[in-house]
Structure 1
Amino acid sequence: MSSSTTGRRRRAVPLLALLAAGTLTLGAAPAADTDPVPSQGPAAAAPDASAPEADAQGGAPRKISPYTGLMAEQGPVLAVKFDNARGARPHHNLDKADIVYVEKVEGGMSRLMGVYSSKIPRAVGPVRSARESDVELLKQFGRPALAYSGVRSSLHKFLKDSPIYVRSHGALPRAYYRAPGRNAPHNLFVNPGMVLKSAPRAHKPKDIGFRFGPAPKGGTRTAERTVRYASASHTFRWSPSQKRWYVRFDGAPAWQSNGKQMSARTIVIQKVKMPPSKYRDVNGAVTPYIKTVGEGWATVLRDGKAYKSWWMRPNTKSGTKFIQKGGKPMPFAKGQVWIVYEDA
């Protein structure tokens, strides 16, 4: 192995040490592209060290998570809206989420939503605004808490009147802070523990339709799959050696602040209708409404194969089932699950 390859795979130096030495510029881009093996980018944007990272709040009993299929503590559910503009990367602690949703927003850009329960990091971000269709999506989790940066005034009442415990930057400012070294608006981070403390009745995990188990027969061998919006692309590359799908945004590795590239064992590409919402952004652009109630085609990527599936969600309170050919549930590989919405 060459010395250059070894250097690219080295472990990221702890953030605080780099800051103290003055050798790290927060938010800097990685120097090398080494995917599909785990890539080591720079440590960046870390944020608040006031509380230790921990598993779910309150020492909850350990049992199998309905979100990941893994044994984990089951704390209250928190959803966090993540910025995914180029200036917002790398993301911090998105890898700790049980589920990651990829959503289309105005201008064909994308936003991410991380759903947390098994592990509650001390900080996540950068955080951005919520959308109308987030309420429809999140109702299948019961009454979770939602952390986000804010919304247009016309949408504020709609979110406030929803059954979700909405905890925006404006409503709970002490839970949010601006990370140094990042440019606004891509520098807002949140302390999930403080958000959940303000929503003590947030629901714990329940069955939302996911099933986990060995890969079924069939499927089509797939090395790479890309979902494109007008102004964003999301690519998932299979690594046979690591047995994971490595994520790329807009043609570049999707770095995390710990220097690793984002990856998951299961990627679900769910085809949904996205008609215009009645709401617009600050520039007047129409917001897409992602219809997560209904049914349609989906492609489940796992174990280096693509499985054509059918998704069904009859109403907002029900979970989303994924069915393989023959009518049996489509099993996911255990671990973090990505749901990527694609225009039907």
Structure 2
Amino acid sequence: YEEVVEGNITRFAAVFHSVDASPVGPVRSARTSDFDLLTDKNTPLFANSGGNPTVLSMLRSVDAVNVNVNALPNLYYRERSRRAPHNLMTSTADLISAKGSDGGTPPPMFQYRVDGESLPESAVEISGVDIAYGGHNVSYDWDPELGGWARTQNGTPHTDVDGVRVAPPNVVVQIISYGRSPADASSPEAILIGEGDAMILTDGHLIEARWSRPTKSDVAQFTTLDGQPVELTPGRTWVALPRVGQVTTR
């Protein structure tokens, strides 16, 4: 998930649903916007570098296992090639080994097409999408050779630590609104309960959709405009959380 934080910049909230990863990071501080990204995943492990006192107090009532660096410092390390605070790392295997028995098995978050299954008739080919968050600009461009949507941030191609272009097979653009965090008036809080518009990017196509999540424990459902469940391409999915009017398709 890519969510807006202070100054209209964004942070990633990575969900490792079915596959281990190492290293994981940089691990940053918790925000109240993170809470509703946790409550539909059946008591997940929540890695973070801490937070302000109000955030940490509120986190105690969230259905998640707080595995932050203050509680479990031996599960984290500093990557010396990076500058703090952008260098705190861990791994899913270490976190699960230490606290996995305290968490639950996550439910499916999305539905997927099977081999040979076609996209809905409403799907239209597009070359990409631009998202102007306010603090920075993000683009996703369909790359058939990569089989995904190549991500660019502020004009710079986004690559991982191995130099591989970030190009997820699916990008879910979930249009939401933001309020103010009760822990910090300068910090936006994503409003993820309710319903709204969505754009589903998959297999070089755009599917106009709606999202609905009635309660905190419900998994968000994405449907076509005629009410059919949207099925994604098997693989990684990035979820963008912009406001209304911040997205342009190409």
Tell me whether the two structures share a fold, i.e. TM-score over 0.5.
yes
Choose from 229, 237, 240 the match for 2:141: 237
Match of 2:237 in 1: 337
Q: Which amino acid aligns with 1:294?
A: G
1:112 to 2:16 alignment: no
Query: How far, CA to CA, are the matches of 2:145 and 2:157 in structure 1?
Result: 18
1:157 to 2:57 alignment: yes
Choose from 119, 122, 126 the match for 1:218: 122
1:289 to 2:193 alignment: no
Q: CA RMSD in A?
A: 1.4
What is the CA deviation profile of residues 279-333 of structure 1, one whole-angstrom value per residue up to 9, with x for unaligned ones? 22xxxx6111101110000000112221110000010111111010221111111
Query: How far, CA to CA, are the matches of 1:318 and 1:302 in structure 2?
Result: 24
1:170 to 2:70 alignment: yes
Q: What displacement does 1:161 show? A: 2.7
Query: How far, CA to CA, are the matches of 1:243 and 1:279 in structure 2?
Result: 41
Match of 2:159 in 1: 255
Q: What displacement does 1:133 show? A: 2.1
Q: Which region of structure 1 is more displaced relative to structure 2, 315-324 or 197-206?
A: 197-206
Structure whose CA Rg is larger:
1
Secondary structure at the aligned position of 1:275 is classed as: strand
Asked if structure 1 preserves the Cα contact closer than 8 Å seen for 2:36 and 2:216, the reply is yes
Choose from 182, 207, 220 the match for 2:108: 207
What is the CA deviation profile of residues 21-50 of structure 1, one whole-angstrom value per residue up to 9, with x for unaligned ones? xxxxxxxxxxxxxxxxxxxxxxxxxxxxxx
**Structure 1 residues 133 and 218, CA gap change in structure 2 (3 angstroms):** same
Asked if structure 2 preserves the Cα contact closer than 8 Å seen for 1:117 and 1:204, the reply is no
Asked if structure 2 preserves the Cα contact closer than 8 Å seen for 1:279 and 1:286, the reply is no
Aligned pair count? 239
Q: Which runs of 5+ in 2 are unaligned?
A: 245-250
Q: Which amino acid aligns with 2:188?
A: P
Query: How far, CA to CA, are the matches of 2:172 and 2:71 in structure 1?
Result: 33
TM-score of the aligned structures, taking structure 2 as reference length = 0.91
Secondary structure at the aligned position of 2:15 is classed as: strand
Match of 1:56 in 2: none
Q: What displacement does 1:251 show? A: 1.5
Q: Which amino acid aligns with 2:169?
A: R
Query: Identity, % of aligned pairs?
Result: 28
TM-score of the aligned structures, taking structure 1 as reference length = 0.67
Q: Which runs of 5+ in 1 are unaligned?
A: 1-100
Aligned counterparts, 1:186-205, within 5 A: 186-199=86-99, 200-205=101-106
Match of 2:212 in 1: 312
Query: How far, CA to CA, are the matches of 2:106 and 2:150 in structure 1?
Result: 27
Query: How far, CA to CA, are the matches of 1:119 and 1:303 in structure 2?
Result: 22
Match of 1:302 in 2: 202
Q: What displacement does 1:130 show? A: 1.3
